[in-house]
Structure 1
């Protein structure tokens, strides 16, 4: 019985003992009689497809096989990471894995390389790997027989070849080459009888050549098309050449060279560089002699320049030529070759820049003469001769134009430049970079009104104070215009002008009589007053009599010159007035000016300014509406005037400050209001006398300055009245002399000699005392 219970107990306890033994081994190990043994988790493998399992002590890890990568981008993973192994595309992942001229083909877990069409592997195998050291080399198809047809040549290229016709032959299709299909190259003289244009096509051992008809040329390029040669431009310049024998001789030289092109056997022997110098000598002579004095001469001149550049360009041997002279700056670019150039080129000078596609400069293929020429020529002072001809412009009311760049001429070998298939860009740098008015791109149109500036075909791409970029669909001579505005005519302004100037004439006449005849008041100051009044008096008379007499250009120019001189003289005497006033009030000494020095400053300086201005720009005197300076020369007046105004303002401020001190010291009982009133009246009147009202005239060049116009007209017209009031009526001494004169004429009485002597002596002493103190009569 005991044995039976013992057996049952053992059966019941055995699983417990076994479970205790299992739990005693760590995870990843199994209990064996010999102890805990590592479990091989890789048998069977848990890692999935395209992977391999690696057992470790108590664990394991998975890795993708070669040519595969983990979807989680982890090199080691377990089944718990849910990673899979995907194929690596070596063709995308490794740049240029197969090397040059080879294709890459991806395969599962690997890739293979094969050479492109036209290439063969260096070992002869069809497929290879990038690390096999195999390269792809070009197959020379031209070594094979009959690759190209008759009268053609085979040209090997990387991976392919081209068939081109031999010299003197051409494809019927008009293509320059072919590959694969065998086309027939035929004699080009038979294929296209118009190939030479205005010439006869001949076939020879060296290929075809063109014999040009009379009046046509291919400039010595025998294989190029014959084009028209116009030498007439050198015959129609009599109105230019008659001004100078040197110009006439040079033009004859160009005309002779033009005729030689069709007569000599080899025109290429013509000296292009020498002809360029001849052309620049012609331009220098014409621009320095001021011979271009009307628009028709300007048109003839520009036609001559454009024709000469078209003639000379093909014979210049240097690819890029830069040449300058006293009045020109030139850059010329030449491309020779049967193939039309395609690139974009830039030509530049100090005042302009040209950006142009050489394909545009070459023209149509049917007219291509075998060379391409582009030139950019800028003139130093042509804007002076070509200014003022704006009949081709649409002008707003009171709007006028002025040239604000140098004039440039652009020429190309393309004979059809009236409407280019692509526009060209010309950058023109401004002469006046301080003016922010609108700018317009224009060209010289010789076909309208004998010659005028016109905006047709040109537009502004970009414009700032420094330069304007113009885009034009044709080529000629170009410039940039800036728009200005004249002062509008108002009846009120005219009325104020005539009334004010008439009163000023009367007042100035009395001033002249006063300062020249009354001896008791004569001094260096009154001498300045006298000549200031004389200058203004003569200027006003000339102004009233001749300002609108524009019918006779020479007479109008004389009137403008005299106005220029006498108004400048008035300014110079105003400057002397300011200096003398400063010496009297501030420096307080009576050292008088030498009369010769005063005359030199008052009349000599304006005479020099007017002479220089007239020599530099004689056309600046006289406009279409008034006998006055035009906008190109106006600053020869306003420049010196502004300098004098600034000097006088400086002297006035110091003088006014001293006068204010004198008001306080000489009138201690005057209340503040009276002091301020006296100071303001004196300040404003003195400012007018010294000519600072002319500063309002500097604002007359923009639209909408009517307020400035009224101020300028009022102050300027009544300046003579102001001078009479300030220097005569405000002067106690002059008033006393006027009273004496009136008393003498109105109530004459006899006076004793002693009384007269005493009175005269007292007045003289008073006058001397006043002058010696150096204080202003004001």
Structure 2
């Protein structure tokens, strides 16, 4: 360190060796130094804090000092010097030298800056989204009768419905009753805080919807008639009380859900007990359901209500708003779908509420089979579409559940736009030459199913779509047209039956008079052929006698009996073969037992069937069993075929064991084996014929199946004749003997006739008589 002195050497510098010279007292030090003990020493100017000012640092140097601004500051003026301080803050946010993440903003501070969220947000501490919205509505920030609605970073207050905002931000009640038409002419308007009430006049109701207009109530729709069912009367009594309560001075209201449950409980009882037996009762029932839904629908609380009971399924949609609803509305049940628009549901006037309902009945289709009346218009239209079929031959049946569609619009006889209904078929059948679907509704005025105003949009084997211009109770009607037999098919049938009758007649003569084959098995074959002969003869002569209902039923009963009897005799043949193989050879069945099974069992089945369902004998197309009654024939046939198959399997098994034994009786075993083969072939012929016959009589057979049935039927008698007569050696021998006797008898007659003629004409030539006889 050195000490500066004046140039005139009045003071000496301090040497490095520690020597220094003293300054004379009459001399002064340079600026920035001061004399201490006659020595010039550096003065520390930074002791004074005001030299550099705020936000700056002072640094002393020998003989002087200099100033530097703190971090985040800079010189205030461009002529900032070491001796003139004054630093100013640097605004990092303005100069964009800050670093803030996400949606945070920069906030300048003295000498630095901070990153903070916008107003209305708070720091969530998350790295991906550090700022989260502050829900100002958690605190009471809005006035009375208003609600707070939070928005990102802010909020706003809105008045409750029925209030309006004043200039000072408070909410004031709106007096809706100042509008004279708000409740219409059928009610008195009563203002309420934030709302109003339409107090209906006597005979009017808004179904408990206070702000809605009042409509006239017609409780006479629930009028009870003397000929109604008791359960229907009870239901109408409940509904009338509810209607009168709604239209009373107090405008009472019941729970719509409770009324709906009571309605379906009553309808279940009506349908379950089979009380709907005629068209008039059906009209009363459907009309009651429709009027009930008009009463109950507006009282339901939920926007959509679904209810399912044992016999009913319903879906109801309700809307309540000051403005009419728009758009489409779709309802569905287990078997139907209803598609319309809210404009159609509302109609021309909108009281403030609207509803639409779809109700389907699970058992009404089966109950209504007894009164399938079709309107004349529908029949004429179908006859024009199918001019090749006589109208009297067409049969109709419902192939869907009945569904009722109801809307709040009272004018539904002619809708501005058609509605769509899609029905699920109860029986899957595609349209064909014999099946045609049509959309119908129940015409209560005429008590018939009618197709007026309903068109079939599309159809397949499982569903049918309908487009209707009015509302009511709808269903899908299936028209069954008779299949016209071709000339070739009729010719084959008749020729084949004649051939079968001739062969069966020859079999009967053979089994009756051929002595070499007499026995139990031959007796079974005889009765089998007799039953088939009579059945084929009745079939040929009376199968088409549908013009006389009684005669047709008798023909069907005879066919039922003799065809069943033929199968029973085949079962007896199987049992006889089983006894011959398993028990002992040449064993026989008692004739009394055979007659009891062969004729008694079929007779009992026919008697029971005729008593239980007499209408099952005879159809509009054939004198045979009806479709729903076919089980009375095919069920016993299936049982017999199964039993016979089981017996034949055991018989063949036992035959194989006997053939493999040490000392088999080969002659008897071969005979029984032949008997078994013919019996199995016989079962296949008759059984196979009725497999195809099942399709024939159900009107569902194709031409191929019809021809197969006809061919098998014609070959039936011929095959039995071939198997049991021509292929039997004893029978062939008897045929040969019979033919030889016939031929020899004819030859003898011819010989006698020729001899007598020669004798008479050549009597004078006696010498040539012997020669002439020998020549002959």
**TM-score normalised by the chain length of structure 2:** 0.56
Aligned mates of 2:441, 2:346 — CA distance in 1: 22
Match of 2:360 in 1: 376
Change (3 A) 1:589 1:684: closer
Deviations 1:401-453, CA, capped at 9 Å, x for gaps: 87585532324254444566574555536445999999957334548997347
Cα RMSD of the aligned pairs, angstroms, is 6.6
Q: Which one of 178, 185, 189 corresponds to residue 179 of structure 2?
A: 185
Change (3 A) 1:269 1:733: farther
Match of 1:505 in 2: 501
Count of residues paired in the alignment: 597
Aligned mates of 1:226, 1:412 — CA distance in 2: 18
Aligned mates of 2:134, 2:646 — CA distance in 1: 83
- Once the 2 structures are TM-superposed, how far is the Cα of residue 580 of structure 1 from its aligned partner? 4.3
Alignment of 1:273-292 (within 5 A): 280-284=268-272, 286=274, 291-292=277-278
> Secondary structure, in 3 states, of the residue corresponding to 1:409?
strand
Deviations 1:88-124, CA, capped at 9 Å, x for gaps: 999999699554689xxxxxxxxxxx99xx99999xx
Deviations 1:677-735, CA, capped at 9 Å, x for gaps: x99x9799646644323333345468783233222112203422332333234333344
Are 1:364 and 2:355 matched, yes or no? no
Are 1:407 and 2:407 matched, yes or no? no
Match of 1:728 in 2: 725
Change (3 A) 1:530 1:485: farther
Change (3 A) 1:634 1:375: same
Are 1:468 and 2:463 matched, yes or no? yes
Change (3 A) 1:718 1:256: same
Deviations 1:517-541, CA, capped at 9 Å, x for gaps: 6666443323332332232223223
Are 1:693 and 2:704 matched, yes or no? no
Q: Which has the larger radius of gyration?
A: 2
Change (3 A) 1:547 1:724: same
Aligned mates of 2:455, 2:558 — CA distance in 1: 41
Q: Which one of 205, 209, 220 corresponds to residue 200 of structure 2?
A: 209
Q: Would the aligned equivalents of 1:410 and 1:477 in 2 still touch at CA under 8 Å?
A: yes
Are 1:712 and 2:697 matched, yes or no? no
Q: Would the aligned equivalents of 2:511 and 2:526 in 1 still touch at CA under 8 Å?
A: yes
Aligned mates of 1:617, 1:440 — CA distance in 2: 28
Aligned mates of 2:217, 2:350 — CA distance in 1: 8
Match of 1:302 in 2: 282
Q: Which one of 190, 209, 214 corresponds to residue 224 of structure 1?
A: 214
Q: Would the aligned equivalents of 1:220 and 1:268 in 2 still touch at CA under 8 Å?
A: yes
Aligned mates of 1:506, 1:129 — CA distance in 2: 101
> Secondary structure, in 3 states, of the residue corresponding to 1:691?
helix
Change (3 A) 1:651 1:369: farther
Q: Would the aligned equivalents of 1:441 and 1:470 in 2 still touch at CA under 8 Å?
A: no
Alignment of 1:518-667 (within 5 A): 521-578=517-574, 580-581=576-577, 589-593=585-589, 595=591, 598-599=594-595, 601-607=597-603, 610=606, 618-634=614-630, 636-638=632-634, 640-641=636-637, 644=640
Are 1:165 and 2:176 matched, yes or no? yes
> Secondary structure, in 3 states, of the residue corresponding to 1:442?
strand
Deviations 1:474-513, CA, capped at 9 Å, x for gaps: 5444445678886541212212222222233343344345
> Secondary structure, in 3 states, of the residue corresponding to 2:215?
coil
Deviations 1:547-566, CA, capped at 9 Å, x for gaps: 22222334323433332333
Unpaired runs of 5+ residues, structure 2, are 1-71, 75-90, 105-116, 122-127, 192-196, 662-673, 746-776
Change (3 A) 1:164 1:535: farther
- Once the 2 structures are TM-superposed, how far is the Cα of residue 570 of structure 1 from its aligned partner? 2.5
Aligned mates of 2:238, 2:148 — CA distance in 1: 62
Aligned mates of 1:567, 1:589 — CA distance in 2: 30
Q: Would the aligned equivalents of 1:574 and 1:691 in 2 still touch at CA under 8 Å?
A: no
**TM-score normalised by the chain length of structure 1:** 0.56
Aligned mates of 1:282, 1:129 — CA distance in 2: 61
Which stretch of structure 1 is more off in the superposition, 269-278 or 633-642?
269-278
Change (3 A) 1:162 1:95: farther
Are 1:492 and 2:488 matched, yes or no? yes
- Once the 2 structures are TM-superposed, how far is the Cα of residue 230 of structure 1 from its aligned partner? 7.0
Change (3 A) 1:43 1:228: closer
Match of 2:32 in 1: none
Aligned mates of 1:341, 1:208 — CA distance in 2: 24
Change (3 A) 1:500 1:658: farther
